Amino acid sequence: MVTQRSTVIGFLSLIALPFALLAACDKVPLLAPTGTVISLIPVTTTVSLNSEVTIIATVIENGAASAGTGTGSGTTTTSRTGAGTPVQNGTLISFTTTLGRIEPSEARTHNGQVSVKLISGGASGTATITAFSGGASSTTQLKIGTAGVKTVLLTTTPQALGASGGTVQVVATVTDDGGNPISGVPVTFATDKGSVSPSTATTDGNGNATATLTTSATAKVTATAGTISSTAATVTVNSRALAGFSASPTATSAGTPVTFTVTPAAGANLSNVRVDFGDGSSQNLGAISAAQTVPHAYNASGNYTATATATDVSGDAGTLSTTVIIGSLPVTLSASSPSPLVNTPVTFTVGGIGTAQIDHFEWTLDDGTGPFTTTAAQLTHTFTQRGAKNIHVDVFGVGGGKLGSANTAVSVN
């Protein structure tokens, strides 16, 4: 009875053995046979930070090692001549990288190919990717982040500012050795004048990092991505249009000319200088290239602020100002005789007008005659009746303003 049972168990074991062997073989991975060539083909040689890139591995039995046909390049470590054929479907290919990570780290072939992704993180550097199966292996390198930067092109808009300075947009375009834009790369900006904000910006999908320069003086801007730097053409701030604007004298009487001197800055290319005297009148001097004077007389007392506005050929305007104090004209009036005789001419003379620009004099007498207007500072008059006579004179400037007045009296005998 025992012998019969043993015989049955032995028979069943013989039947189960092939199935166990098949199951064990299924658990053993299918690896590339001897003479296999693996070629790695990355779709690009550079990878942005915190992004991914596809890597294709071709696996050929008895194939010839070759460079990748994408924009990147593959480097194989196994070589074999012959046309070759794709390895058996399901051949397991393993991947490693020195920077970032590969997903998936293992893949099985289909028609002699597998496709995986390199996932980059926040660290820049060169990633060495290795693919291997059986005795075949291949490596390739991808530059991540700033390690892939070949050029940094810096542009500014506008390239020149007016005399008061202002703001300029600064754009740094980062590309790899193939001229492709690199996104996600930090770019640091610096300037020798003014300030740049932000000081660090990250490139967008077009490889552009943007910042703003604020300056009141001619400045140079530098942009750095990794170890590559670029200095933009100088952002020019035009020289101040005017070097000086002054008045002489700074205090005088109404009607007395004030001489204003306008001095352009060295090298300034002016299209016009407009002087506003502060009393409602102005004068254009045109395109001056050297110091120029312009006289002006004020027709009323007061404090006046005169301004000179210079416009350069680019349309930028610069303004300087000065103040003058104008007092009333100290007008006096005298008679050739304090006691003239009836029907005898007497001459009245206006004094105290100095170099004032006078237009005319208006005379008022209380003997029933007049008023009289003269352009000279004198009036000759004959009184026909005895008694005390009062004489008044108003002095008017060239612009029509009254500069001053005076009174006197005579006793006619």
pLDDT tens digits, 180-238: 888 888 999 999 989 999 999 999 989 999 999 999 888 899 999 988 888 766 787 76
Q: Can you give the pTM of this predicted structure?
A: 0.49
CA atoms within 13 A on the CB side of 354: 14
pLDDT score for 64: 52
**299 — pLDDT class (breaks 50, 70, 90):** confident
The dihedral through the CA atoms of 280, 286, 291, 297 has a sign that is: negative
Architecture of the domain delimited by 36-147:
Sandwich (2.60)
Domain spans of the chain, in order of start: 36-147, 149-237, 242-327, 332-412
pLDDT score for 91: 95
194: which 2 tokens?
């003014």
Q: CATH for 242-327?
A: 2.60.40.10
pLDDT score for 117: 95
On whether the CB atoms of residues 401 and 376 are closer than 8 A, the answer is no
Nearest to 180 by CA among 81, 365, 53: 53
Single-letter amino acid code for the residue at 93: I
The topology (CATH level 3) of 332-412 is Immunoglobulin-like (2.60.40)
pLDDT score for 317: 67
SS3 (DSSP) at 19: helix
Average pLDDT for 40-55 = 89
On whether the CB atoms of residues 308 and 274 are closer than 8 A, the answer is yes
The topology (CATH level 3) of 149-237 is Immunoglobulin-like (2.60.40)
Nearest to 233 by CA among 344, 155, 116, 124: 155
pLDDT digit string, tens, across residues 50-85: 889 999 999 999 865 444 434 444 443 444 444 589
**Domains 36-147 and 332-412 alike in fold:** yes
Pseudo-torsion of CA 69, 226, 200, 231, nearest 10°?
A: -100
The yes-or-no verdict on residue 5 having pLDDT over 70 is no
**271 — pLDDT class (breaks 50, 70, 90):** confident
Residue 413: CB partners within 8 Å, gap ≥ 6? 339, 340, 341, 342, 386
pLDDT score for 63: 60
pLDDT score for 329: 84
The yes-or-no verdict on residue 20 having pLDDT over 50 is no
DSSP assignment of 309-377 equals: EEEETTS-EEEEEEEEEEE----EEEES-SSPPTT-EEEEEEES-TT--EEEEEEEETTS---EEESSS
pLDDT digit string, tens, across residues 237-248: 765 678 899 999
Q: Mean of the per-residue pLDDT values for the chain?
A: 85
- DSSP state, 7? H
Residue 95: CB partners within 8 Å, gap ≥ 6? 55, 57, 102, 104, 105, 106, 107, 116, 129, 130, 131
Alpha-carbon distance of 402 to 358, in angstroms, equals 10
The yes-or-no verdict on residue 154 having pLDDT over 70 is yes
The residue with greater pLDDT, 266 or 32, is 32
210 strand-pairing partners: 171
